[in-house]
Amino acid sequence: MSKTGKKKFDRRTMRSFAVSAVFAYDFILKEAAEAEKEKKKEAAAAARKKQPGPSDSIVINKVVGKGTRRRSKMTLLEYEEKYNGENSDVLKLLGYKKDDDAAEEPAEAAEKPFNTEEFIQDVLSSQLEEDGADEIIFADLPDYGEYLYPVVNGVIENIGEIDGYIGRNLTGWSIDRIKRTDLAVLRVAVFELVHFRDTVPLEIAINEAVEAAKSSDQKSGAFVNGVLAGVVRELNGEKK
């Protein structure tokens, strides 16, 4: 690409942009999965810490009568069993929280999803900066609204369905083992096959996906072709 950022933005180029954006989104998915995994580990550790063990004890001061107090000691488990949750504030002060106490707490609000247009602009601007090109406003490009945005946004919104098609048409392989560049190519192509046939004919979707995969590895081209052929058979109701 020239220093002025001038380039012929044909449909094939826009497809490569879509694949790049979907490839970048894969890292967001991985980070989110890792964060969720870490959150669950921390929650499990906190639950184990707050759950009373056999030796955890509490001293109870009881007023017996006429101001006379009696001190008794029992384990937290015994206390919980005996009083069945009464005076549970005492336990809470000691850091013990029952499961039903936790359920009463309001759930945290889900994080606001990122803006897809800003995401596309950021990802592809970074890609073009590496080529020494000036910044390009992708929303101003031909085919942005008709192709690039709906495809990238469509993959993001339908990622579970798309990965389902891919996974069902793998033989002796799992989706986690697919090369990430090939997976991005497949996700874009499967979205086109399932949701975008009126805009991108089946033959073009498959041929350009195979060519894109071949650019990095001949074996990748054959692999992508085989998976997409299976997806087409599934969409046509044919047996695998």
SS3 state of residue 157? helix
Return the pLDDT at 104: 44
* Cα(175)–Cα(183) distance, integer angstroms: 8
Q: Which two tokens stand for residue 87?
A: 């005076």
Tell me the average pLDDT of the chain: 76
226 or 138: which leads in pLDDT: 226
Residue range 186-206, pLDDT digits in tens? 999 999 999 999 889 999 999
Write b or e for each residue in 158-174: b if 16 or more Cβ atoms lie within 10 A of its Cβ, otherwise e: bbeebbebbeebeeeee
Compute and round to an integer the Cα radius of gyration of the chain.
29
Residues 6+ apart with CB under 8 A from 107: none
Confidence of residue 123 (pLDDT cuts 50, 70, 90): confident
Domains identified in the chain and CATH numbers:
11-41+114-235 (1.10.940.10), 52-95 (no CATH)
Return the pLDDT at 206: 95
